[in-house]
Structures are given as C-alpha cells and as structure tokens.
C-alpha cells in the first residue's frame, strides 16, 4: 500500500511527539548510564570523553545524508529504520563489552539518533507560519527534555550495573517504535523535500549556525561528562541522577518561554540573554555551598544551555519554504554535531582543574553572549537605518 500524501498544514503531531517522548526517556537514561557503568563491564573511565565525542561524530556524519533517505521512504518509515538501528547498537554493546566495539556502536548510534532528530524536527517544522513552527518546536523540546529528565531519575531505582539497565533502555525504544508502526497517517508529503543550493546556504543566518554550534559545544560535555563531574562533586549516586535530571528539567521548563519570546524578541538578543543567565548559573555551581543553591544553579545552567538550539533552528527556518525545511534542519544538526564532537574533547583536555568542565561551559556562554549582543545591535541599527527613496 502506498503511503498517504498529506499536505504539510495537516501534519499530525501525535506520532512524532509520542515516539520522541519514549525515545527521550531511553536516551536520557542511556546518556548517564554509559559513563557510570563502564567499570561494571571492565572498561576504563578514560573512555568516557571518546565515547561522547564519537557518538556526536556519528551524528555529524549522519546529518549529511539523512535527507535522501527521508525523501525516498517518507518520515514514518525513516523513523522506524533509525529507531531499529539504535536498538541494534545497544544490543551489540551488551553482547561484546569491548572498548572498540563500544566506540563503533556509539558511532552508529549517533548516526541513528541524527536521523531521529532530523525526521522529528522536520516533521514538526513543516507548518504554515513562524508562530506555528515555534509552538510545535516548543512542544518538541518539552517532550525531548521532559523525557530526558525522567530518564535521569531511572538511575536510582534501576541502577547502573549489569545488563538490566540496558535492557530497560531497549524496552523503552521498542515502545517508541509503536506509534510510527501502528499509525500510518499524518506524515508530511515525501515529495516536498528539496536540497538547498550553495547560494542559499550562504544566506542562512550566521547567528543561527553559531547558535547550533555553541549548543553542541555545551550539550556534548553536559551529556557526556557532567554525570562524572557531579558524582565527584556530591559523592552520592542518588544526587548525581537528581542533579542531571534538574539540568534537563531546566531545559524542559524553559521551552514555553522560548516559544513565547522567539516570535516577539530578536532571536540573536534572546540567545545573548540566555547565555548571560547561563553564566550566572556557572558562577553559582562554582561558589555555592548548600545543595539547594547548587541544584538551582544547575537548573539555570540547563535552562539556558538547552534554550539555544530551538531559538537557533527557528531563526534558520525563518522565511524558508516548507520544501527546504528537511535540508535546513540537516545543516543546523550538522553545526550542532561539530560542536558536540569537539565539546567533550575540549572540556576534558583544556584544563587540569577539578572544575575544568564548568569553567569551559562558562567560557562558551560568555563569549557567545558577547557575539550575539554585537550581532543584535548591528541588526537593530541596520533595521533603523532609513531606506533610500
């Protein structure tokens, strides 16, 4: 039976959002589980930054070739393919607990996750107006980060040793497969997608590309290295999972605010403000003594770090025709992936300080804040300049 062709304005959100929610819980748990469970499989902790970076390298490579697959199969079938591939990578890690196998598996997992992100993002972004796109992307980010925060909380009841936690992740991903498997209607028309030409790439917003890049530079280390940093800071496995959940909960809670402000405030200025508040969160983590203030600081850091990507990607899609959305999301994901590959390596090697990771995040935030402020002031000056008659 041929897949139905639905006009983009009738795209359903049920399948991508439900699928994403289960995927996010599994992914959030897995991101913290991998660095914390290495010892139980006889693997060295020195593998942590490499596993994080090679995962994002897989995302980077995947982001360059997903559009063609989506065009051939449609969004629904592509989503099933990428979720199934992700399950296979986790199965391989359990069967062969070897450093080389895990590195290869995480690379392939990155490729699959890139596909999931591009498919779901483009599915939701194929809307009639910037306001509707912002609303849908806010729903996407809330589901993604809410599920990821919930996944962090699984560390305490399920644990981090043995194969049971990984089997839990596989079961969650199987639940994620059910919506696109059972619901065959509501996907975008797979004949709409077009590649962006080189001349069009040059016209993409530089703050948007940089925003995605910086988002990767922040979130790569947060996902890959932060669980180890927090466990050394609090010396308590329960608090490690709780603080990781707080970080991602901040990312979830800020999404309605991002959706509301992104159509009312200059997006460059908005990214500058979030970077500024994120820097305050970094200062709180370094200086706070009580657990409540530390948790609040992590909440602020998470909110500001996770706010950048949705703002940047909506900025990139402003004024783009619907047919170019898949290609644009690929390019933004590519920028994010470059940052995500480099971020864990930079954070792990630029400083020998015990707080090197937090200092690195602060440096990324404040430098991006300055750039975005300059760019927003320049844009405001350009808009106010009188046009020639």
pLDDT tens-digit profile, the chain (389 residues): 333 333 444 567 788 888 999 999 999 899 888 888 888 888 888 888 888 888 888 888 887 777 778 778 888 898 999 999 999 999 999 999 999 999 999 999 999 998 998 888 878 877 666 677 777 777 777 888 778 878 877 887 888 888 999 999 999 999 999 998 988 776 666 555 555 555 556 667 788 889 999 999 999 898 878 888 888 887 676 788 788 889 988 888 888 888 888 878 888 999 999 999 999 999 999 988 888 999 999 999 999 999 998 899 888 877 666 666 667 777 888 888 888 888 888 888 877 788 889 999 999 999 999 999 998 888 766 665 554 44
Rg (CA), the chain: 20
Structure tokens belonging to residue 359:
């200092």
Q: What is the structure's pLDDT at 7?
A: 40
Q: What is the structure's pLDDT at 192?
A: 53
With a CB cutoff of 8 Å and minimum separation 6, the contacts of 378 are none
pLDDT tens-place string over residues 129-162: 667 777 777 777 788 877 887 887 788 788 888 8
**347 in Cβ contact with 223 (< 8 Å):** no
Closest CA relative to residue 179, chosen from 12, 31, 67, 8: 12
Q: What is the structure's pLDDT at 128?
A: 60
Where helices occur in 41-74 by DSSP H, the ranges are: 48-62, 66-73
pLDDT tens-place string over residues 85-130: 999 999 999 999 999 999 999 999 999 998 998 888 878 877 666 6
Q: What is the structure's pLDDT at 162?
A: 85
Q: What is the structure's pLDDT at 273?
A: 96
Give, rounded to a whole angstrom, the gap between the first and last alpha carbons of the chain: 58
Structure tokens belonging to residue 135:
């609303």
If DSSP codes are grouped into helix, strand and coil, which group holds residue 188?
A: strand
């Amino acid at each position: 039976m041929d897949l139905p062709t639905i006009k983009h304005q009738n795209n359903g959100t049920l399948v991508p959002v439900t699928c994403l929610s289960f995927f996010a819980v599994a992914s959030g748990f897995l991101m913290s589980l991998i660095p914390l469970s290495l010892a139980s499989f006889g693997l060295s902790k020195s593998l942590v930054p490499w596993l994080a970076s090679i995962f994002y390298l897989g995302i980077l490579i995947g982001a360059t070739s997903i559009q063609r697959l989506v065009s051939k199969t449609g969004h629904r079938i592509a989503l099933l393919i990428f979720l199934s591939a992700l399950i296979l990578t986790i199965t391989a890690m359990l069967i062969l607990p070897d450093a080389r196998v895990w590195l290869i598996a995480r690379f392939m997992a990155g490729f699959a996750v890139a596909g999931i992100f591009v498919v779901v993002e483009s599915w939701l972004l194929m809307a009639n107006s910037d306001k509707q796109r912002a609303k849908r992307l806010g729903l996407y980010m809330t589901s993604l980060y809410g599920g990821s925060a919930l996944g962090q909380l699984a560390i305490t009841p399920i644990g981090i040793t043995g194969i049971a936690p990984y089997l839990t992740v596989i079961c969650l991903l199987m639940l994620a497969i059910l919506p696109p498997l059972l619901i065959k209607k509501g996907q975008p028309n797979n004949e709409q997608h077009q590649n962006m030409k080189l001349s069009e790439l040059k016209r993409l917003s530089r703050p948007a590309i940089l925003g995605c890049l910086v988002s990767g530079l922040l979130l790569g280390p947060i996902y890959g290295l932060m669980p180890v940093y927090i466990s050394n800071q609090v010396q308590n496995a329960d608090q490690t999972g709780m603080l990781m959940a707080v970080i991602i909960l901040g990312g979830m809670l800020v999404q309605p605010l991002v959706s509301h402000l992104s159509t009312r405030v200059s997006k460059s200025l908005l990214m500058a403000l979030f970077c500024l508040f994120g820097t305050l969160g970094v200062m709180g983590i370094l200086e706070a003594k009580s657990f409540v203030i530390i948790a609040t600081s992590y909440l602020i850091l998470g909110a500001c770090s996770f706010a950048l990507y949705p703002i940047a990607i909506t900025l990139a899609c402003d004024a783009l025709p619907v047919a170019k959305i898949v290609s644009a999301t690929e390019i933004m994901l590519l920028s994010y992936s470059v940052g995500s590959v480099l971020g864990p390596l930079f954070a792990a090697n630029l400083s020998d300080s015990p707080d090197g990771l937090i200092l690195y995040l602060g440096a990324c935030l404040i430098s991006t804040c300055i750039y975005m402020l300059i760019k927003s002031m320049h844009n405001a000056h350009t808009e106010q300049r009188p046009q020639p008659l």
